[in-house]
Amino acid sequence: MTEKEMWDLYTQNNHVKNKNYDAWCFGGDTLIADELAKLVVEGIKTATASAYKLYELDNSPLPPIGGLNIILDSDSNAVCITETTKVYTCPFWKVSERHAFKEGEGDRSIAYWRKVHKDFFSNELKAYDLNFDENMMVVCEEFEVVW
């Protein structure tokens, strides 16, 4: 299903008017994007994290509470719609065990979260000629599936 088809179904069935959405897939490679989208649909993954610096560089606002997101797979097929329920920033090293668990990846531990996110952020920042730093600010976002 395309993002437009999913959005049309969602708005028709929920009487949503004049509400915007963002459509995106999780970063990383194809396998990771599809695996994480599946975890969201299954209700295991209810949080994500991103590098605050990239919001600054792109002059983009942080995700809004109540914001709607169409989660896409690696082929740009819409898999579900989420609503952002909480957004906060903190240094990478201070991301909590609770947040790592909500991200639903690997064994859901903070050790696993730090390893995979250090690798992910390092690669992401490299495209901007920036280096990973454990003191870098991270945007932590929590969400729930609404469709």
CATH number for the domain harbouring residue 113: 3.10.400.10
Q: Vertex 68, ends 64 and 70: CA angle to 5°?
A: 135
**Distance between CA atoms of residues 102 and 80, nearest Å:** 18
The answer to whether 124 and 51 have CB atoms below 8 angstroms apart is: yes
Q: Is residue 78 scored above 90 in pLDDT?
A: yes
Q: How confident is the model at residue 19 (pLDDT cuts 50, 70, 90)?
A: confident
**Distance between CA atoms of residues 38 and 30, nearest Å:** 12
**Distance between CA atoms of residues 65 and 141, nearest Å:** 9
Q: Which two three-digit tokens encode residue 35?
A: 């695996």
The answer to whether 99 and 49 have CB atoms below 8 angstroms apart is: yes
Q: Is residue 29 scored above 70 in pLDDT?
A: no
Sequence-distant (6+) residues with CB within 8 A of 105 are 36, 39, 45, 112, 113, 116
Number of domains in the chain: 1
Place of tokens 């490299």: 126
Q: pTM, whole model, 2 decimals?
A: 0.91
Q: Is residue 28 scored above 70 in pLDDT?
A: no
Q: What tens digit of pLDDT does each residue of 46-70 get? A: 999 999 999 999 999 999 999 999 9
Q: Is residue 114 scored above 90 in pLDDT?
A: yes
pLDDT of residue 16: 79
Mean pLDDT, rounded, of the chain: 94
Q: Which domain holds residue 48?
A: 3-145
pLDDT of residue 15: 82
Q: How confident is the model at residue 93 (pLDDT cuts 50, 70, 90)?
A: very high
Q: Report which of residues 106 and 14 the model is more confident about.
A: 106
With a pLDDT cut of 70, the percent of the chain lying above it is 97
